[in-house]
Structure 1
């Protein structure tokens, strides 16, 4: 049964012209890293909801949501205007199965994301579980322009804290930036550029999680299948676990 709790905004952090993080305090509730809740606002006497994954760890006091502001979006544009002290509603319980509990063991864990689909991976990396389970973790973030690369400071901190364990590869499709790859993620899988850049085999010894644009997920699944990496399900464990982000 869905329940509501009330939260208070403590920070509205603007990453770029189109992406922001809404940070909220609320009464404690249980969730697993990678799960989502719905944020709600009263607009014109109507309660409007949108689903957003948590980017915070389950034990953190402040809930972190990384959100793309959609032009003319009914909810995201209103969320983008919230200021510290403003109220927002949160549905309970948290939902979704895009968690590390659903992922089999492997030598490496690949986290392939586009846009705000990086949020669930930030939540997971803020826990001990991925660091304990996988020798190598590769975080790949695809965006159109460099300003939409989020959590850069946090990622650098993890790389210092876990030297040699975390690989990070930005993918920027509309700008040429040193250190970034420029083709779409499925193309980078097909060409071998992604595994070469991160110096990690992308084979059946790997576990791959996909989150973001549905086209990226569909095409990446096909590219990974060509490498022998099968879809992961509870009935038939495999190598590829995915979640569409809209």
Structure 2
């Protein structure tokens, strides 16, 4: 099979940055033919010494317009993929499937005033891509990014989030974004304390955002721990908010990031 006929391209690892002992970011070159919508994911492959290839799905952190691809990963102790990835360094090869995947994209919604982006852990990745794409800023009046982690040191990409307001193309829209951090295992200045579901149930999340979470005005994207997604969907359903499907537009879009 020729390279052009293969389902993947060979990209070069540009950078690997550890954030904590269990979290790291990686950046690769991008094939000019690789296209994706903000919020989608790619399948990455690493080749083991025995010659077999291990594949895992990762949402893009980078914008659809960047000339590189960036991903955010958790280290899985003894995990087949991250164990192989840990051997790689700048200049090594990483495989990227030619097709992008996923439905955590803005076209899941046909209307809505407020966009809530609710994430845990590395599930913030697709939302960072969405926030670097101009479409979201034009479509919604308010954008509430909620990032839940166990420990404060896991709050990644703070410079990227705070730096959005300084980007020329977002200057007149930056006031629309509100960032709410929540830390579950320790107190942290400026962050809420508790899980996303708890903060919805007790009203703290809406109080912090200064806006109600309603079926009339809110559209919600969920990415992260499957239990968080299931529990949050249940809470939202109690408020009359349902999963958005291609045949039936709704209020909620999800991606299980585990």
Provide the TM-score with structure 2 as the length reference.
0.91
CA distance in 2 between counterparts of 1:226 and 1:189 reads 12
**Once superposed, what is the RMSD of the aligned Cα atoms?**
1.4
Corresponding residue number in structure 1 for 2:202: 191
Deviation at 1:13, TM superposition (A): 1.5
Deviation at 1:159, TM superposition (A): 4.2
Deviation at 1:77, TM superposition (A): 2.8
Corresponding residue number in structure 2 for 1:206: 218
CA distance in 1 between counterparts of 2:136 and 2:156 reads 20
**Further displaced range: 162-171 or 211-220:** 162-171
The answer as to 2:233 corresponding to 1:230 is no
Corresponding residue number in structure 2 for 1:13: 17
Relative to structure 1, the CA distance from residue 126 to residue 80 in structure 2 (aligned partners, 3 Å threshold; closer, same or farther) is: farther
Corresponding residue number in structure 2 for 1:181: 192
Flag structure 2 segments of 5+ consecutive residues without an equivalent: none
Deviation at 1:207, TM superposition (A): 0.4
Corresponding residue number in structure 2 for 1:41: 46
Corresponding residue number in structure 1 for 2:233: 221
Deviation at 1:186, TM superposition (A): 1.0
Q: Which of 76, 81, 86 is the aligned partner of 1:80?
A: 86
The answer as to 2:141 corresponding to 1:135 is yes
1:80-113 per-position Cα deviation (integer Å, ceiling 9, x unaligned)? 3421101110112111111111222211100000
CA distance in 1 between counterparts of 2:63 and 2:96 reads 16
8 Å contact from structure 1 (residues 2, 93) kept in 2 = no
CA distance in 2 between counterparts of 1:195 and 1:185 reads 11
**Further displaced range: 233-242 or 114-123:** 233-242
> What SS is found at the alignment partner of 2:20?
coil
CA distance in 1 between counterparts of 2:101 and 2:6 reads 10
8 Å contact from structure 1 (residues 11, 23) kept in 2 = yes
8 Å contact from structure 1 (residues 189, 224) kept in 2 = no
Provide the TM-score with structure 1 as the length reference.
0.96
1:20-99 equivalences under 5 Å are: 20-28=24-32, 29-43=34-48, 44-99=50-105
> What SS is found at the alignment partner of 1:164?
helix
8 Å contact from structure 1 (residues 135, 165) kept in 2 = yes
Deviation at 1:26, TM superposition (A): 3.0
Flag structure 1 segments of 5+ consecutive residues without an equivalent: none
Corresponding residue number in structure 1 for 2:180: 169
Runs ≥4 residues deviating over 3 A: 159-163
CA distance in 1 between counterparts of 2:165 and 2:208 reads 16
